[in-house]
Every structure is written in structure tokens, then in C-alpha cells.
Amino acid sequence: METIFSLVTKPINQNVAIIRISGPETFDIVKEIIPNWEPQQNKVVLQRVSDKEGKFLDEILVLSFVAPNSFTGENVVELQTHGNNILVSKFISILSEKGARQSLPGEFSKQAFENGKIDLSQSVAINTLINSNNEMLVEQSTKSLSGEQTNFINGFISDLSEIISRMQVAIDYPENTDLPKYSVQGIKQLIIERILDAEKVIEQSNKLIKVSKGVSIAIVGVPNAGKSTLLNAISKEDRAIVSDIAGTTRDVVEQQLYLNGIKVTLQDTAGVRTNTNDEIEAIGIEKTKDYAEKADIILLVVDGNEDVATQEEIFKDILMKENVIRVASKSLDINGYLTINAKDGKIENLIEEIESYIKFKLSPDTEEPLLISKSQSTESEEIISSLNEAKKMLEEGHPEDIVMFELENALVYAGNIIGKTIDQEYMTNLFANFCIGK
């Protein structure tokens, strides 16, 4: 394993810069730079550093971690220097001259994974935790980092292993297949249960992954219904142009904000009416329909001073959708609509309705550990595919050894989520532990 280093703080002038070094040659390299330094586990020491000509560079803090008691499992040193970019560049040049290599993205986590300090799901969690702006995804990432997801997947692997072991018993000892535990029907029932478990996880995980990318809210209505005023009221700034002239908004105006830790993109769309001779307005109307079709939530704004039935007729297709929140502006009360006064900023009831919809319709509703990346979700879909194929084969009366192939595939896909190697050695040990007479 190579010795690597990286600047782990931003490459800007700042109070402090931190350079992390990890690998088998870490302590030797640091000793060459600071001859009187000795590594001490989890201890910070103040050291003076000079360049190769003996010229003073900086007075720095040196924090050391002795393998295997470090994040990577290697000897690790963190150099905390003053955060001037010119000074930092000198330290980086010195480390390169001494034989350390600039790390690749994620390479410290890779060292930790290869040394068994974390599994694959935890490495994914670290990256997600660093980069996510979504509160729910951060919460799930911390669950994964603490090992909850690993324990959940290991439990699923254990369940699959039990099914495979029973299948192997049925192959080796066909006289036992009249027992419910080893019968085709009994094994098929276990497979069905695992399919249901996996489908539930994927459904909830896909909700998490989708909502973590943000929620789109299209504001639609007739011209001059108050859509732009509503966007400005929700975002609390004058993002959209507001006027009394119908059709002011010709293109979609977007504004991003956060509601309860979830990124929301408001889309103020062009007003829709039945007929228009304006070519540009017609293009805007088509864009409105397209944005409404793709939106997670649609705010249908009606003008309370105009005939509501006529407006509803224009938006009859949109009103059939389940993700519509009906909003009435310029009105005291309209049955079935939330009454707001966006001009005066009185939209609390609408904000509560939006937050409630996101929480109960778009967000996961389980406390179980969930998958936090698309690649993990893809592996789980492969699990379901293999289990469904195994179930189908059992129903069609295929030989057990062919069914076993699909079950073993499902086991491999489950192992991939946490980086657990499911190979022939694993299968041999599995059968030795579970099978009768083995």
C-alpha cells in the first residue's frame, strides 16, 4: 500500500490548513521533515519546520495515529499549518519529494475499506454525508456510518443463506423434502418473504434518493392569477416580475429555497388560457404544461375574482392528478381551495400544506436503515430479479440446482452493497455450517 497525502481543507488562504498523510511510510517521511518528532497515539505536539536548506518555514501542530488505530488502518499524521496557500504548497512539495503521493479522490476511504476499518456501505455513507444538503439523507448516512445498514444487509444475507442451505439439504437428502422446512412450498414462501422485504426497502429508498435531490413545485394558473406574487411570497424576495398586465410571465422563472431541510425549486410558469394569438405566449403555455407534467407538486392558483369553473375547465387534466394543491388568491373563500393572501405574505396555511405533502407523500415513512445511493438501489433491484426468477423456477418445477444458481446470485448482489465477498469459499463454509451430515 502506498503512502498518500492530501490537503483536506479548502485550497484558499485561511487561518489553518490541514494536510493528512496515510500509509506505511508516513512516520518515516514526517521524521525526515521534523527530525526531533516521535509519533504518539492521538497526541498533538507543536513543532518547528524548516526547508531542506534549513530555512524556517512554520510552526505547526502534528497529530499522529498509530496503525491500526486510525481511520485508514495505516499510520496517519495530520499537519496543521498556517493556511497561506504559498506556505501550503511548500509543504506539499516537500511531501512529494520525500516519496508520498497526492491521493486520488476517495483514496483514504479506500485504504480504510481495504484494511477492514469500514465496509462499502459506510464508505458510501461518508461521501454522501459530506456532500448532501438534504436533512433526511444526512440522517440515513449517519445510520449507515454507524453500521445500521450493514447489520440490516447482513441480516438479509443470513436469511438468504438459510434459504440456500435448506435448498442444499433438499438436493442432498431428497427424503427430507416431505418436511415443511425443506419442501418446495416452504422454501418458496421464504423467498416470497424476502422479495417483499427487498421491495419495501427499495420503495422507501427510492423515495429518499429522489427527495434528496430536491422537490420541484410548478405554480400554474390563468394569466394574472397571482402566480408570480405567490412565488415571491414563498421565497421572500422579488424573484418574479409582478404586474397587473395579464401574461407578464412568458417563460418559467425558478427559485430555490429549503423547507425543513429539503431543497425546493419553485417554478413560476406562464399563464394558461384557451386561445392566444401571441406566438411567444403560446410557447410559454406549452412549457407550463411540460413543467406541470414533471413537477413533484403542482400549485394550481385560481383568481377568486374570476369565474372559477371556467378556470377549472382550462386545467381539467391537471386537476385529475394526485399531486395538485388548489390555491385561491384574491378571494375570501372557495370550497376545496386554500385561501391565501400572497400580496400581504399571508401564506402560512399553504406552506404547512406543502410541508405536509412532502413529508407524507414524497418522503420515506420508515425508521429502518435505507439505501442511500442509486448503485445500492440497483443492486437491490437485481436481488429482487434473481429471487423472482428462483420463485418462478420452483413453481415451474425446475431442478433445485438451477434454482440455487439464482439464489446464489441474489446473495452476491446483497454482498455487493456492503462490499462482502460472496465466493466459492463462502458457499463452502455456508454449507458446512448449515447442511445435515456435512
Q: What is the pLDDT, as a whole number, of residue 29? A: 96
User: What residue has cell string 438479509?
Assistant: 156
How far is 413 from 77, CA to CA, in rounded Å? 36
Q: Centre a 10 Å sphere on the Cβ of residue 228 and count the other Cβ atoms it contains.
A: 24
Each residue's pLDDT tens digit, 226-236: 888 999 899 88
Q: Which SS3 state, helix, strand or coil, does residue 157 take? A: helix
Kindly state the helix (H) or strand (E) to which residue 264 belongs, with its residue range.
Answer: strand 262-268
Burial of 272 (0-12, 13-18, 19+ CB in 10 A): buried
How far is 438 from 431, CA to CA, in rounded Å? 7
Q: Centre a 10 Å sphere on the Cβ of residue 408 and count the other Cβ atoms it contains.
A: 20
Q: What is the pLDDT, as a whole number, of residue 171? A: 79
Domains 148-209+369-434 and 215-362 share a fold: no
Q: Does 3.40.50.300 match the CATH number of domain 215-362?
A: yes
Q: Which CATH number fits domain 148-209+369-434: 3.40.640.10, 3.40.50.2300, 1.20.120.430, 3.30.499.10?
A: 1.20.120.430
Q: What is the pLDDT, as a whole number, of residue 283? A: 63
pTM for the complete prediction? 0.78
User: What residue has cell string 422446512?
Assistant: 181
Amino acid letter, residue 31: K
- Relative orientation angle of helices 135-145 and 120-131, to the nearest 10 degrees: 150
Q: What is the pLDDT, as a whole number, of residue 184? A: 83
For residue 201, what are the CA distances in angstroms to 135, 137, 140, 155, 208? 19, 15, 13, 13, 10
How far is 352 from 332, CA to CA, in rounded Å? 19
Kindly state the helix (H) or strand (E) to which residue 267 belongs, with its residue range.
Answer: strand 262-268
Q: What is the pLDDT, as a whole number, of residue 109? A: 94
* Domain extents in the chain: 4-114, 148-209+369-434, 215-362
Blockwise average pLDDT, block size 10, the chain, 438 residues? 94 95 97 92 91 90 95 96 95 95 94 94 92 89 92 94 86 72 85 94 93 94 89 77 46 86 90 63 71 94 88 90 91 85 89 95 90 92 96 91 92 93 74 47
What is 4-114's CATH superfamily? Probable tRNA modification gtpase trme; domain 1 (3.30.1360.120)
Contact 197, 153 (CB under 8 A): no
Q: What is the pLDDT, as a whole number, of residue 165? A: 86
Degrees (nearest 5) of the Cα angle 254, 324, 347?
65
Q: What is the pLDDT, as a whole number, of residue 99? A: 94
Contact 334, 302 (CB under 8 A): yes
Q: Centre a 10 Å sphere on the Cβ of residue 401 and count the other Cβ atoms it contains.
A: 10
How far is 411 from 431, CA to CA, in rounded Å? 14
Q: What is the pLDDT, as a whole number, of residue 79? A: 97
Q: What is the pLDDT, as a whole number, of residue 271? A: 80
Q: What is the pLDDT, as a whole number, of residue 334? A: 87
